[in-house]
Amino acid sequence: MAKKESKKVIAPKKAKKVEATKKEEKELHIEESQAIEELIDDEEIESVFGGDKGEEIESSDKEKTPFQLLLEKGKKEGFLTYAELNENLPEGIIEADRLEEIVEMITELGIIVQEGAPTTQQLEQSADPQENTNPIENEIGKTTDPVRMYMREMGTIELLDREGEIVIAKKIEEGNKKIQSTLSQFLPVLMFIEERYITLTTEIKEIADKDDSKYLEIFSDFAFENDEIIEINTDSDEADNQVDVKAIKRCINKLIRQTNKMKTLLEENANEEEVIKLNKAIEETLMGTKIAPKLFDILQKIILAYMAEIKRYEKEIRQMVVETAGVPMPEFRKTFIGNESKLNWIDKYIRAKRKYSSILNKNKSKIVANQKRLGRLEKTSYLSIQEIKGINRKLNMGRIQADRAKKEMVEANLRLVISIAKKYTNRGLQFLDLIQEGNIGLMKAVDKFEYRRGYKFSTYATWWIRQAITRSIADQARTIRIPVHMIETINKLNRISRQMIQEKGREPSVEELSEAMEMPISRIRKVLKISREPISMETPIGDDDDSYLGDFIEDTTIDQPDGAATKTGLKESTISILESLTPREAKVLRMRFGIHMNTDHTLEEVGKQFDVTRERIRQIEAKALRKLRHPSRSEKLKSFMGSDN
């Protein structure tokens, strides 16, 4: 309710219908500020709102925090810029997700958040919210079906024309430029690029022919926007590659020289003006390149990793000082900020002889250990903790701006995914799964879209969406996964097979397919075997569905009745004829042939058992077998032998 009422106060045309008193306006402002407070930890609220959570905002400007004054300014003027938001947010707000939530909350209050001051027309449109007369929503009404909700929300978003796509693409580009500018200010990022380049150079030197074109293959993270490269137009692809390789080498070598010079200046505590001048030169060099999305994410994660470490160590220090020892949060913030890595900072509290001094003295070693870790981060980054936080905040503001524009571009093209996904139904994946895979391809297209090339985004995105859908069908449609390259071979084989059926009116033979595919017959047989679709054992058989395929498949693990009877009869007959021999002869035959034993035995093993020679055992065995060949005994076993024997 607070959000709806706040819109009534902000909108100029609605103000005529709502007669709000100053007291009501004050209460609404309190509710709006408290709504944003929910996005901030208790320990950060004081720096944002100047008091404990839930405490009312006083009317005096002197008692208001910079963030509260910024909200009032935004309510009066109808807009805020990213720069203003970045300057007035407290130090504790550093994560991109929480910054995004705060920006969305401010937007819901009727305040436009954008790069610069909006035009008069934009302010009038934002101040005149139209009645909800969406025919789709009126027709469908409220529903809990996620598919219908998705389709309904998708239908409310207007399609973009060429000009609209360019506007959004420029917003994405502006956000990425802010990120890239921020990356140039963080020395570990530049050192990572140098390390990556040195690794690449080593790999190139290990190649026998030292082919420089490998730079494009291995080090494809960089593309360049220098005029000298854009203007080159030649029919020779080899010449183009040589130019690109030279540009890569020249630009990165220049960046490495500037990085090493910056490290030297910082280590020698050089003049600040000289450092600023070199920093601008590094920024110009890096801004002259277009970094591939994969490397772009890696470079951003370097800053985010530093920030995560800082948060972890500061949290441990805060828990020991504030929560365990009981130092007031305002006092802790006031003294700790700027002294994060100064090891004598905690001594001030210990010497104060207060109730928390003894507890802090016990935990001093742990606190100092965390401060040393923060000091190592400062040393490796050549920046103070507060400077790292400032860079992280600039990075997050750029990420928010780019992500919001990307989201807008994606949402405006969701219908394109639906239209393409319809063509791939009944191929093994559910329709909703096809839509999701297509959306992934759409997001990749947004990341890689270049509006300066002149084509529409929908033309470019179509191929990314198709690629994502077809790849997902190849990977997920089959119960037993088949590699994508094999799927392509199977599709080619099926296509040629259908063509030959139309030409000859019959199924082609393996030899004919082998000749048409230009593959060995063994390879064709393997592809045909792999292409078979698995079938469930529970597949119903017949019209009544009272039997299943598994009922008609032979169970080879169980003996057949006639085989079991034959086996039992043979066993009984063998025991009977062995009993007609002497005990010694019967035992020798049992041991030699493994009858009723785990394994058979050699002549030597049987001889040791009877304490006789191998030759004597052979003679006993031969005599016993001659007795068994007598018709009186052999007739009992002949019935178990085949007709050929």
Instruction: Report pLDDT digits (tens) over 101-125.
Output: 777 777 777 777 776 665 555 545 5
CA gap 234, 599 in Å, rounded: 81
Q: What angle do CA 32, 34, 36 make, to 5 degrees?
A: 75
Q: What would the pLDDT profile of 57-99 be if each residue is shown by its tens digit?
A: 444 455 566 777 777 777 777 777 777 777 776 655 555 566 6
Under the banding of pLDDT at 50, 70 and 90, the label for residue 140 is very low
**Domains of the chain, residue spans:** 2-120, 187-291, 298-382, 489-552, 565-638
CA gap 32, 1 in Å, rounded: 10
CA gap 581, 592 in Å, rounded: 15
Statement: residue 242 has pLDDT above 50: no
Q: What would the pLDDT profile of 407-426 be if each residue is shown by its tens digit?
A: 999 999 999 999 999 998 88
Residue 37 φ then ψ, to 5°: -60, -30
CA gap 263, 380 in Å, rounded: 10
Q: What is the pLDDT of residue 21?
A: 44
CA-wise closest residue to 345 among 324, 323, 379, 320? 320
CA gap 628, 242 in Å, rounded: 90
pLDDT above 70 covers a percentage of the chain that reads 76
- Per the model's pLDDT, the better-predicted residue between 498 and 483 turns out to be 498
**Mean pLDDT, residues 208-227 taken together:** 51
Residues 6+ apart with CB under 8 A from 107: 113
470-477's contacts with Cβ under 8 Å and 24+ in sequence apart are: 470/424, 471/437, 472/429, 472/433, 472/434, 472/437, 473/424, 473/427, 473/428, 473/429, 473/434, 476/428, 476/429, 476/433, 477/427, 477/428, 477/429
Statement: residue 2 has pLDDT above 60: no
Placement of tokens 């959306």 in the chain: 439
Statement: residue 198 has pLDDT above 70: yes
CA gap 591, 587 in Å, rounded: 6
Q: What is the pLDDT of residue 241?
A: 43
Burial state string for 425-445 with b = 16 or more CB within 10 A and e = fewer than 16:
eeebbeeebbbbbbbbbbbbb
- Please tell me the least confidently modeled range out of 186-190, 297-301, 622-626, 640-644: 640-644
Q: What is the pLDDT of residue 39?
A: 43
- Per the model's pLDDT, the better-predicted residue between 196 and 24 turns out to be 196
CA-wise closest residue to 330 among 602, 116, 43, 607? 43
Token pair recorded at residue 328: 């007031």
Statement: residue 224 has pLDDT above 60: no
Q: Which DSSP string do the residues of 550-617 spell out, in sequence order?
A: GGGS--TTS--HHHHHHHHHHHHHHHHHHHTS-HHHHHHHHHHHTTTSSS---HHHHHHHHTS-HHHH
- Per the model's pLDDT, the better-predicted residue between 228 and 172 turns out to be 172
Under the banding of pLDDT at 50, 70 and 90, the label for residue 513 is very high
Q: What would the pLDDT profile of 578-600 be if each residue is shown by its tens digit?
A: 888 888 988 898 898 888 888 88
pLDDT above 90 covers a percentage of the chain that reads 27
**Which CATH number, 3.40.50.300, 3.40.50.920, 1.10.10.10, 1.10.150.120, labels domain 565-638?**
1.10.10.10
CA 300 to chain centre: 15
| Most confident of the ranges 91-105, 123-137, 225-239 | 91-105
CB atoms within 10 A of CB 241: 16
489-552 and 565-638 share one CATH topology? yes
**Mean pLDDT, residues 515-529 taken together:** 91
Statement: residue 520 has pLDDT above 50: yes
Statement: residue 177 has pLDDT above 60: yes
Q: What would the pLDDT profile of 608-645 be if each residue is shown by its tens digit?
A: 888 899 999 999 999 988 888 888 888 877 777 754 44
CA gap 169, 160 in Å, rounded: 12
Q: What is the pLDDT of residue 305?
A: 94
Token pair recorded at residue 450: 């270049």
- Please tell me the least confidently modeled range out of 285-289, 373-377, 389-393: 285-289
Q: Which residues pair with 541 in a beta bridge?
A: 547
**Mean pLDDT, residues 446-465 taken together:** 90
* Strand 222-224, strand 289-291: pairing: antiparallel
Statement: residue 141 has pLDDT above 70: no
Using an 8 Å Cβ cutoff, are 137 and 156 in contact?
yes
Statement: residue 28 has pLDDT above 60: no
CA-wise closest residue to 168 among 155, 159, 179? 159
**Mean pLDDT, residues 318-331 taken together:** 89
* Strand 112-114, strand 79-81: pairing: parallel
Class of the domain covering 489-552: mainly alpha
CB atoms within 10 A of CB 260: 13
Q: What is the pLDDT of residue 211?
A: 56
**Mean pLDDT, residues 316-328 taken together:** 90
Statement: residue 36 has pLDDT above 60: no
Statement: residue 47 has pLDDT above 50: no
For the CA atoms of 256, 261, 263, 265, the dihedral, rounded to the nearest 10 degrees, stands at -170
